[in-house]
Structure 1
Amino acid sequence: MPHTPHTPQTPPRAPHAVSRLRTARLARSAKPFLARGGPRGERCPGCRLVPSHCLCSLQPVMPTRAGVCLLMADIEPLKPSNTGWLIADVVPDTFAFGWARTEVDPGLIALLADPQWQPYVVFPGEFVEPARVVTEVAEPDADTANGKRPLFILLDATWPEARKMFRKSPYLDRFPVLSLQPEQISRYQLRRSRRDDHFCTAEVAGLCLDLAGEPQAAQVLQAYLDVFTHHYLQAKHQLPPDWEGDAHLQLREALGKS
């Protein structure tokens, strides 16, 4: 049976961490943030897409043992193409903080000190002293993890910004650096890095979840990213979304739905 597109009235769930950070960032703005697509700003508050391409009815939730902590560059929460938002849609234990060189959110410091979590800073190992670099996530019962849940710290920014954030965040220096060794090339089509081995934030989170032994959550997040990308690009080109296309089919399969 063909899928009936969802027409949003209000966000489908309570605002998540990235949504709340976006609201706070907008409140500090001296002038309105105008995303590409015109000054009217007609976007669904739940998925940031234009209402005709809303995908709120498809937002999946995958409870995971792992958590994600997003450190977001100044305007990242405002960008409709930001994929950290998708992580917060899917992974309930997603935390989001704005990054600034001169101050640190007390909530971030408290999170990093929470004994239930084992933080991993996700960053390319080639830019880090070898002693800090790990390529695997400790098993839940491993002595090195002390039974703690993995918390993946993602620097949600452009590559130059992320390097600056990594260098100028001394409160992260005591944590291991998880260096991903992916073989696949990024499929993200909205904001392309000049390097093929650079991944969008949602792709990185998916790789981390896979390493943490949560393959279904990783698959759902990747499929959800593909659906979001399809809706975003179709809206950009003023074309309707294909609700029965490959992206939607793969998301339903990942969720175990026919």
Structure 2
Amino acid sequence: MGFTPHAIHQRYQYRKAISTRPYNARGKNLLRCEACLLAQQFCTCEFRRQLDSNVSFLLIMYDDEVLKPSNSGRLIADLIPDTHAYIWSRNYANRKLLHLLNSPHYQPYVVFPSEYAKPGQAVVESVTQAAQAEPLTSTKRPLFVLLDGSWREAIKMFSKSPYLHQLPLLSFTPETAARYGLRKGSRDFQLGTAEVAALALASAGEVANANSLNAWFSLFIESSLFSRSRKSTLDLSPLQDLQDAFELSLDRTP
């Protein structure tokens, strides 16, 4: 890798090391970059830039999610410096994960739909709203907890993790997303992990960083599609346009 591995790179290497057999993802015969997991000819690592952010992320990842080339959680760690990641276990809670959630320096928010809130669990739509309700939270660094896996896996992780049930939920509706202007027309409002992270950034007032993460996500999606297509070498202009769009978004960050 041409840069220091971040938390998800570290989890990826660990999970691969303990696997008893190779993870056979779609396009398993592709020669992939070990950092971004895209086909080597469409690697995006040279464009990666870390942002200046006042928020943090914690990704709790379902078992083999970190091995999937399609995982968008790694995009968060690409851009946001203080990003943590742990692989979820049903049988025990990672000690370092619990220490992070209980740190006096962080105010954790589980980013999850409000309809799954446990009795008495606080639900907020923005970090600003939470700070107004609990002034002490405004002195702590927001820590957005994302459950990274399929929707069914995310529900299972939330349900089977009691240590998450006492934390406030940060919940977004389609109307909330529309208000931030970061995404339009999501079918059934099912967002990728990186898109949810962009909403969380916007809720904390970091709209420029949210736009950069969305641009990075768009570049990742297009690069993934090019990796799968036999015709992808004929016209690279869509990729080049998205690369330019991402660079432009960086110029607009404070």
With structure 1 as the length reference, what TM-score do the two structures score?
0.86
**Number of aligned residue pairs:** 239
RMSD: 2.0
Residue in structure 2 matching 1:46, options 35, 56, 61: 35
Task: Show structure 1 runs of 4+ deviating over 3 A.
Answer: 138-142, 183-187, 243-246
Q: Distance in 1 between matches of 2:152 and 2:141?
A: 30
Aligned residue runs from structure 1 range 163-242, under 5 A: 163-181=155-173, 182-183=177-178, 184-185=183-184, 196-238=188-230, 239-240=232-233, 241-242=236-237
Match of 1:109 in 2: 98
Describe the superposition over 1:123-164 as per-residue Cα deviations: whole angstroms up to 9, x where unpaired: 001222474211111379751415001000000011111111
Residue in structure 2 matching 1:62, options 44, 51, 70: 51
Match of 1:13 in 2: 3
Report the Cα offset of residue 15 of structure 1: 0.8
Does residue 248 (structure 1) correspond to residue 240 (structure 2)? The answer is no
SS in 1 for 2:199: helix
Preserved contact between residue 76 and residue 157 of structure 1 (Cα < 8 Å): yes
Q: Distance in 2 between matches of 1:222 and 1:113?
A: 30
Q: Distance in 1 between matches of 2:11 and 2:127?
A: 28
SS in 2 for 1:196: helix
Report the Cα offset of residue 248 of structure 1: 2.1
SS in 1 for 2:146: strand
Question: How has the CA–CA distance of structure 1 residues 20 and 134 changed in structure 2, closer, same or farther, with 3 Å as cutoff?
Answer: same
Aligned residue runs from structure 1 range 63-212, under 5 A: 63-129=52-118, 131=120, 132-138=122-128, 143-181=135-173, 182-183=177-178, 184-185=183-184, 196-212=188-204
SS in 2 for 1:69: strand
Q: Distance in 2 between matches of 1:100 and 1:125?
A: 23
- Kindly indicate which of the two structures has a greater share of residues assigned to helix: 2
Identity %: 39
Amino acid at match of 1:252: E
Preserved contact between residue 119 and residue 176 of structure 1 (Cα < 8 Å): yes
Higher mean C-alpha displacement, 28-37 vs 111-120: 28-37
Amino acid at match of 1:197: F
Q: Distance in 2 between matches of 1:248 and 1:186?
A: 23
SS in 2 for 1:44: coil
Unaligned runs of 5+ in 1: 1-10, 188-194
Match of 1:5 in 2: none
Question: How has the CA–CA distance of structure 1 residues 186 and 89 changed in structure 2, closer, same or farther, with 3 Å as cutoff?
Answer: farther
Unaligned runs of 5+ in 2: none
Report the Cα offset of residue 45 of structure 1: 1.3
With structure 2 as the length reference, what TM-score do the two structures score?
0.88
SS in 2 for 1:145: helix
Report the Cα offset of residue 244 of structure 1: 6.4
Report the Cα offset of residue 34 of structure 1: 2.2
